[in-house]
Structure 1
């Protein structure tokens, strides 16, 4: 049988997007909610294997639901999705026995990986949030000095979440040239070749551009 999941998010597009994506991957979405009280009641009633919860929701936050599940010995494993990058919230999530923690901007890319870890009773805390917390300082990264003006411009556009095609149109260059620049930037910054690595680095450091 496929894994039973409850999803809760007060943003309709996010809720629908995650539901459709996970359904297409064969997961069994047994319930969905747009607020914390409804989500918690669904968890109590349906006892899904996994609950994917937005941290900030009306009536009950994802953290409060996770805390209640722990206190009441509910079998559901909680995965939190959030835009928040605050260390205090991250630490609370671990304290409340959360099994997964991922950032919303990477949710579609990471949620299936996260679920598969949780199914195997393994915790999955997104590398992106750990990277952000470890590098979120006011000091300008020395690595920026290694980039050319063209590369700096491309990194700035990446930090605005623009695609290679959008960057190519804005700079009047080919997509192939943009991708070559991206590869050079990754090498200069010493990042790994994961598709999200440069986007994460650019977003973390965008206040320096």
Structure 2
């Protein structure tokens, strides 16, 4: 692992006490924290101007979420490695993190020992998810992502519109195709995602996984 003084970090969290605690722990362990932010826009500006080695970002922040910060920073060519911090254990968040190829995902309940293990793993080129998730949750998230990647561009476009709660008729009008064509695509999507249930199965699944779908 690199010398800690060669590693620069930017941290972001909209909870002042959590941000202060994380900063103090990192500094006490001899890490160089070169930036702090309390909303997503501040975090993005800091990442773009200071280009830290690592950024530890809260997911739920004002103005831009941690996921939005990461996506935008990468579009700008930033090589910073990203670790997200969250209270969320929901599978949809894990799947979204995997879709964005985020390097680390930690829970705010994790000890600083685990945070440091994650930092070390990420710097060595590995992906690190909190041990609290368990193997099964990570495997399920990976399976959902693989299923989504089986969809054709047309099917993915329709799924995104379904996730936005657009009706079949509205989707047909927007895409300039027949209602029957949209229904056929919906049927194919249900098959590829291996969904079971009634009429609203696809809509319910799309709403549950909306964040991930819209990132693809």
Q: TM-score, normalised by structure 2?
A: 0.59
- RCO comparison, higher one (Cα < 8 Å, 6+): 2
1:18: which partner in 2? Answer: 22
- Say if 2:78 is the partner of 1:68: no
1:114: which partner in 2? Answer: 118
2:101: which partner in 1? Answer: 97
In the TM superposition, residue 70 of structure 1 has moved relative to its aligned partner by 2.5
Q: Matched residues in 1 for 2:34 and 2:136: separation?
A: 33
Q: Matched residues in 1 for 2:136 and 2:126: separation?
A: 22
Correspondence for 1:7 among 7, 11, 32:
11
1:77: which partner in 2? Answer: 81
Secondary structure in 2 aligned to 1:105? coil
Q: Matched residues in 2 for 1:91 and 1:46: separation?
A: 29
**Structure 2 residues not aligned, in runs of 5+:** 139-216
Q: Matched residues in 2 for 1:4 and 1:44: separation?
A: 13
Q: Matched residues in 2 for 1:81 and 1:18: separation?
A: 11
Per the alignment, do residues 103 and 132 of structure 1 end up closer, same or farther by CA in structure 2, a change over 3 Å counting?
A: farther
CA RMSD of aligned residues (A): 1.8
CA contact (8 A) 2:13 2:61 kept: yes
Q: Matched residues in 2 for 1:85 and 1:101: separation?
A: 10
In the TM superposition, residue 133 of structure 1 has moved relative to its aligned partner by 3.4
2:156: which partner in 1? Answer: none
**Structure 1 residues not aligned, in runs of 5+:** 135-209
Secondary structure in 1 aligned to 2:92? helix
In the TM superposition, residue 108 of structure 1 has moved relative to its aligned partner by 2.2
Q: Matched residues in 2 for 1:48 and 1:128: separation?
A: 27
In the TM superposition, residue 127 of structure 1 has moved relative to its aligned partner by 1.8
CA contact (8 A) 2:110 2:130 kept: no
Q: Matched residues in 1 for 2:133 and 2:41: separation?
A: 27
Aligned length: 135
Q: How does 1:106-145 map to 2 (within 5 A)?
A: 106-130=110-134, 133=137
Q: TM-score, normalised by structure 1?
A: 0.61
